């Protein structure tokens, strides 16, 4: 009997205990062994920080699908494969087989659009004999509106776009969507953000990143002429840190308060050699920036700012509200990576944008960020904690390991990204077309911990909160009703930020929805998540066989239970049922067609393979 039969049978039994009509989640009495077995892969070890270890556990619960083929001796599809499989062959490391078409379709559709594929798409793709259909699928997804929504939401999380932007949050979201539609060069986007000026961030989209990072200087203004609502120098520092972390993959937080020496020798070699004075020189590119809370009728307008370059400069002895006192030092600007000075007469922030995007580390950090998002692990890990002294194997500090797992691949991706004029679509296409990306998550044989850095299998990841919500909406044909401006939208990923209330809000937060206070991370599992999947109205209400949902329409239109079962499997898991699964499902429907079908879709949503991308 197939190993997957037992979880499906257990889940169907559990649903009959819970009942489809229960409106609110509450504690139920069920045996602990059944609960644990139903969600064993998720109901373990809260800190799933190692994607290889997580994948090893999760892959054991995935169905053994047909159509997976070995890649032994295969010709690499692009330069990514030369580096990945070249290192694998050199070190004698075994690797997983290729994913089959069904796995690949679901994986790449989720990765590029945040959606699960519809049954019609699945049938067409599986039946297509075209040997180039995977490449064509990737190209089509990159031109879809769902791609725009998915990656706009990603960038909104990355830049922590929230209410501190006021109404500018929606403007920034619109701007990011337009950038993605046009495939605007990523370096151009970065320069626009760094150098943005505006009478109001509600009218200039790129200025909203600056507005978001403002440090409030005091709770209330003294009078209508008081511009101290923003702590100017602390805002300079926050922006300097954000730009380095987001665009260079370097975390300068520590040296914004103290020298690296005596603090960071065991953490980051490059930073241990940097001083706070060097940070001041880097932050001083922003020293002329002036951040004024917008005033109207003698009152400050929350979330609205005037941003220009009328300040006198960065004061290395100025006061701070959030850091230790500034201790002085050179006041001239110097780029933190090279010491380069701004050109005479040029606007300092424009110079910072130029120096930042022209440096090779900008492209390295960008490709590593997107690699991390698609592969669940960066070539440099964490993706925003580069140690620049440990990138070159020829100049490695004594006693330290090389930081990138594949330094030559990192350089090749960065070079290719530059040659493409910093095209995000080109970068995503390159990674997704590689055989490395298209490996199976399943691994035949004995997986060893040391294989993890080789990318010898595709690492699984838990769906983001927004992806999971939208997957449930697509699978059941019952979207939500979110208010977005003057419109109503059904998918969480169409929004500019976290929305909803009550059960939906609780559900999304439990599955790791970003609070936009910190940079995004891949979601991890917790014991509360399977409880919500079992009992939350976000699931329970949507699996009801009613006229406005996919299940109700399916039961009305299709009299053959076997075809109903196949459609539910395709709609929910993106694959047909295995023979033993079909028999369990037929038995469930035979005891009561409507209730059995509701039980089945609920059970499929609660399967591990539904809420993981593999």
369-387 pLDDT, tens per residue? 999 999 999 999 999 999 9
pLDDT of 38 higher than 50 = no
- What secondary structure, in 3-state letters, does 336-351 show? CCCCCCCCCCCCHHHH
Other CB atoms within a 10 A radius of the CB of residue 115 amount to 23
Cα 561–564–567 angle (5° rounding)? 155
CA angle 358, 361, 364 (to 5 degrees): 115
Give which of 164, 110, 158 is closest to 137, Cα–Cα.
Answer: 110
> How far apart are the C-alpha atoms of 230 and 216, rounded to whole Å?
5
Cβ distance 500 to 482 under 8 Å?
Answer: yes
Q: Which two tokens stand for residue 51?
A: 């994607």
| Sign of the C-alpha dihedral computed for residues 61, 67, 71 and 73 taken in this order | positive
Residue 466: C-alpha distances to residues 432, 471, 611 (Å)? 22, 8, 11
What is the average pLDDT across 199-222? Answer: 91
pLDDT at position 223, please? Answer: 64
Closest to 85 measured CA to CA, from 99, 71, 98, 104? 71
Predicted pLDDT at 209? 97
Token pair 């009959």 is found at 16
Percentage of the chain lying above the pLDDT 70 cut: 89
Is the per-residue pLDDT at 24 higher than 50? Answer: no
Give dist(CA 325, CA 257) in Å, integer.
Answer: 8
- Distance, in Å, from the CA atom of 58 to the CA atom of 48, rounded to the nearest integer, reads 11
**Torsion 329-332-333-336 (CA) sign:** negative
Instruction: Answer yes or no: is pLDDT of 30 > 80.
Output: no
Average pLDDT, the chain: 90
C-alpha span between 585 and 573 (Å, rounded): 14
Residue 262, SS3 per DSSP:
coil
386-434 per-position pLDDT tens digit: 999 999 999 999 999 999 999 999 999 999 999 999 999 999 999 999 9
Other CB atoms within a 10 A radius of the CB of residue 560 amount to 8
Q: What is the average pLDDT across 135-160?
A: 98
User: Hey, what's the torsion of the CAs at 185, 190, 192, 194, to 10 degrees?
Assistant: -170
3-state secondary structure 227-252: CCCECHHHHHHHHHHHHHHHHHCCCC
pLDDT band at 9 (very low <50, low <70, confident <90, very high): low
Strand partners, 462: 612
pLDDT for position 297: 76
The set of residues, in sequence order, having a beta carbon less than 8 Å from that of 151 and lying 6+ positions away, is 180, 424
The answer on pLDDT for 44 being more than 50 is: no
Place of tokens 């990204």: 417
pLDDT digits (tens, 9 = 90+) for 224-267: 566 678 999 999 999 999 999 999 999 999 999 999 999 999 99
Q: How confident is the model at residue 4 (pLDDT cuts 50, 70, 90)?
A: very low
Q: Are 256 and 276 in contact (CB under 8 A)?
A: yes
- The whole-number average pLDDT for the span 30-45 is 44
Confidence of residue 10 (pLDDT cuts 50, 70, 90): low
Summarised one tens digit per residue, pLDDT across range 60-119 is: 888 875 554 555 556 789 999 999 999 999 999 999 999 999 999 999 999 999 999 999
Provide the pLDDT confidence category of residue 524 given band limits of 50, 70 and 90: confident
Q: Which pLDDT belongs to residue 61? A: 85
pLDDT at 369: 98
Distance CA 191, CA 352 (A): 8
Catalogue the long-range contacts made by 27-32 (C-beta closer than 8 Å, 24 or more residues apart): 28/534, 28/535
Half-sphere exposure of 568 (CA within 13 A, CB side): 32
Distance spanning both ends of the chain, measured CA to CA:
23
């Amino acid at each position: 009997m197939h190993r997957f039969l037992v979880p499906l049978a257990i889940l169907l039994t559990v649903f009959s205990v819970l009942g489809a009509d229960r409106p609110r989640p509450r504690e139920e009495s069920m045996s602990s062994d059944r609960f644990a077995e139903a969600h064993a892969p998720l109901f373990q070890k809260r800190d799933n920080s190692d994607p290889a270890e997580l994948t090893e556990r999760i892959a054991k619960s995935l169905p053994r699908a047909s159509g997976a083929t070995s890649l032994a001796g295969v010709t690499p599809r692009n330069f990514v494969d030369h580096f990945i499989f070249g290192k694998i062959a050199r070190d004698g490391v075994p690797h997983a087989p290729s994913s089959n078409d069904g796995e690949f379709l679901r994986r790449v559709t989720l990765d590029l659009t945040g959606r699960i594929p519809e049954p019609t798409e699945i049938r067409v793709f599986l039946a297509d004999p075209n040997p180039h259909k995977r490449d064509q699928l990737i190209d089509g997804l990159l031109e879809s509106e769902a791609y725009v929504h998915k990656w706009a939401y990603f960038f909104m999380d990355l830049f922590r776009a929230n209410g501190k932007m006021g109404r500018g949050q929606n403007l920034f979201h619109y701007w990011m969507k337009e950038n993605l539609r046009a495939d605007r060069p990523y370096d151009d986007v970065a320069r626009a953000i760094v150098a943005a000026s505006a009478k109001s961030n509600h009218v200039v989209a790129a200025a909203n990143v600056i507005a978001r990072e403002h440090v409030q200087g005091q709770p209330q203004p003294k009078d209508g002429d008081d511009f101290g609502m923003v702590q100017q120098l602390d805002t300079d520092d926050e922006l300097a840190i954000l730009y380095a972390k987001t665009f260079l993959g370097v975390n300068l937080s520590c040296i914004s308060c103290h020298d690296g020496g005596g603090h960071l020798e065991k953490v980051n070699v490059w930073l241990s050699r940097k001083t706070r004075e060097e940070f001041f020189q880097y932050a001083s590119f922003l020293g002329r920036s002036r951040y004024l809370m917008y005033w109207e009728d003698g009152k400050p307008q929350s979330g609205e700012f005037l941003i220009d370059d009328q300040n006198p400069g960065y004061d290395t002895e100025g006061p701070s509200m959030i850091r230790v006192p500034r201790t002085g030092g050179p006041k001239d600007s110097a780029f933190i990576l090279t010491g380069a000075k701004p050109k005479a007469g040029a606007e300092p922030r424009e110079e910072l944008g130029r120096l930042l995007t022209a440096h090779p580390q900008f492209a390295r950090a960008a490709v590593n960020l997107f690699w991390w998002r698609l592969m669940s692990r960066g070539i440099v890990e964490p993706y925003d904690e580069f140690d620049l002294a440990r990138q070159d194997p020829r100049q490695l500090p004594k006693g330290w390991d090389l930081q990138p797992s594949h330094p030559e691949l990192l350089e090749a991706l960065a070079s290719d990204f530059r040659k493409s004029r910093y095209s995000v679509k080109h970068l995503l296409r390159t990674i997704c077309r590689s055989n490395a990306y298209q490996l199976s998550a399943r691994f035949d044989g004995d997986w060893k911990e040391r294989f993890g850095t080789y990318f010898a299998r595709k690492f699984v990841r838990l769906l983001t909160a927004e992806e999971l919500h939208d997957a449930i909406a697509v699978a059941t044909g019952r979207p939500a009703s979110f208010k977005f401006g003057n419109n109503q939208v059904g998918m969480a990923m169409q929004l500019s930020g976290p929305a909803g209330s009550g059960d939906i809000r609780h559900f999304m937060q439990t599955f790791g929805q970003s609070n936009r206070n910190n940079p995004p991370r891949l979601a991890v599992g917790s014991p509360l998540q399977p409880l919500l999947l079992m009992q939350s109205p976000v699931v329970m209400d949507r699996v009801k066989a009613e006229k406005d949902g996919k299940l109700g329409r399916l039961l009305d239109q299709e009299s053959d239970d076997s075809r109903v079962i196949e459609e539910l499997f395709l709609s929910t898991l993106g694959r047909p049922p295995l023979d033993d699964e079909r028999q369990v499902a037929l038995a469930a429907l035979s005891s009561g067609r409507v209730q059995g079908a509701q039980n089945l879709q609920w059970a499929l949503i609660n399967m591990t393979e539904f809420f993981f991308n593999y």
